[in-house]
Amino acid sequence: MTDVRIELSEANLPRIAAETDVEVPTYDRSQITTGIVHVGVGGFFRAHQATYLDRLMNEGKALDFGIVGVAALPHDRRIFDAMSAQDGLYTLLLKHPDGHK
């Protein structure tokens, strides 16, 4: 696919799926209920546990394990604002040790 720039938002998920090779949630995010409160909103948690939950939710499982991040410290504000502007969505790029993606 060609290099496409699309603002990350809930409304743009269908376009992102159609015009890029970026995987998007296949589940209805409005039906997820909170099951996890995570103190901090950093990338480590999102790149690990949240990724596993997203995979399960794409299989129709763990829909009652939605995550609420608590931005408790002043330095959490920047990521909280960025995540809020993207409807809580983010992009995760996996790069394997041999360099393939």
What digits encode the pLDDT tens for the residues 35-51? 999 998 788 888 888 99
Name beta bridge partners: 39.
70
% of the chain exceeding 70 in pLDDT: 97
- Dihedral (C-alpha) 54, 27, 88, 23: value to the nearest 10 degrees? 70
Query: The whole model's pTM is what?
Result: 0.83
pLDDT in tens, 51-82: 999 999 999 999 999 999 898 888 888 988 99
User: E-strand spans in 1-101?
Assistant: 34-39, 66-70
* 8 Å CB contact between 5 and 15: no
